[in-house]
Structure 1
Amino acid sequence: MLGDIMIIFDFLTQDEIDDLPDDDPQAAFVTFVRIAQRRLGERVSRIDDGDSAGWDERNEARLGFMNVAIAAAKKYEIEPFASLAVPRVNDFGNDEHRQFKQDLDHYLTQLLLDNSSRSKKDSVTISPQVRDSIRTYAFHLRKLIEDAGDLDEAKRQVLLRRLTDFEAELDKKRLSLLAVTTLAITIAGAPGALWSSAEVANKLLTNILRTVGEAKVADDAARLLPPSTPPMTLSAPRPTGKDTVKTIPARPSETDDDIPF
């Protein structure tokens, strides 16, 4: 039945689509498929496939999943799925769904493991003591921003939001280096002629960067990570003479007294 065919908004909401990573095709595709698979499972679990109508509804839902997964692969250039053709309705059945699911799971496993490795290179584990030190620097930085009388109010709110985002990242198991970089760029653009406490702000920011940098060096040394790794090549689940899989490049990996200097 045409009304039972699942379309893109049956699998992901507009907000979920908007929240997909912009700068990491692998991570975006994995997230897309993970959400879509969950929605497919929820739909199929409500279907009574005891008759032909129920069977058709389940089959169409599965075909809808394959359709949007291939479309997402084309957007993010994830091979070999970007080159697959979506079967016609009459040519799609249980065998085709099972084969597609198995192949997709095979590649997703590789992508997930690769994303995890890259995430560790772009983040750092910090001890409670180091975390407390960074929080102290951030606290004094917030006070400077709040008390700066010569700082434009719009700029003040931007700085405070960036600082709040950074402090939220400190609550996570690993601190994102992108969050550190974003904070540094934002703060570095504000001092100078804009506010009188620029020298103190720069000193606090330098302390944050130095502390995170030292933690990153120790973290990498403990895990014996090489400075860089070549892009990952996804391999096919069944080696054949004709199968070719494109290399998907990994994203480049993109710190006293009352004032704790």
Structure 2
Amino acid sequence: MKKPPVVPLVIPRSAAVANGTAPGQVGAKPRPSFPVQLPQPVVLAQKPRAGGSPPPGAGRTQTAAPVARPLRTNTSPVATGLGMDSQAVRASMVRKLEAQGISSPQVLAAMRAVERHRFVDSALANQGYEDTSLPIGLGQTISKPSVVARMTELLCQGRPEKLGRVLEIGTGCGYQAAVLSHLSREVYSIERLRGLHERARENLRWFRLANVHLLFGDGMLGYAKGAPYAAIIAAAGGNDIPQAWLDQLAVGGRLVAPAETDAGRQNLVVIDKTSTGLVRTVLEAVLFVPLKSGVG
């Protein structure tokens, strides 16, 4: 199979784009079709250090030519006969989210629209709408519906219109990206584990979401070519928020991510970028997988 020609990704850097300039408007550039894939980074081999801490320079990459890979059809069977595709099942989940304090009509509508059971293994499909995290392979999990809804509501808080361009760090199985597609004009989602990146492609292909672009690469570096972003959300927590994310956040934008606080605990952190600087708000304790650099 011949490798298709590579089309350069050109994205304007104006704040107007980050705030939602739609394709087709004056001055807007054509957007890449779903999915987008970064050139595969080659991680410099380094020996692990005692205690599991990253070696000096971890996360630095060299860019190699992208490898042509055939698209695979979705081989993950979806449970049938369990009523998981019923709107009533999702409506019940949404009622529970409301009871837990989620109040945004837009967020609740998005949670109602996305079929969560399609993002988990068929053996776990009957737990697809329970408020629990579920394994998705490679030591990763799909977050609880209540956590997804909470972080999404924080991201959209005070914004009655759709978000502009959103960057998600940690695609996982693709569920959060699918929810965000209903609330933003564009979603760029980056995943460092190739197995999950490919799984997310398979899961999301069924939904045909033209405004979702999947990227394979080091999420700690963000995706500078798409910046500035109206919002950034992360599904993994590190010692602090990477500077690259803050640099790529638009003025007036908001970042929601888990991070360790001075007390050594992981908490949900909200950062608003204003014309005069950053406003950081620390919220409730959470438990996310650790944020790592490089690809695997």
Give the TM-score, by structure 2 length: 0.20
Give the TM-score, by structure 1 length: 0.22
Give the number of the structure whose residues are more often strand, by fraction: 2
Q: Which has the larger radius of gyration?
A: 1
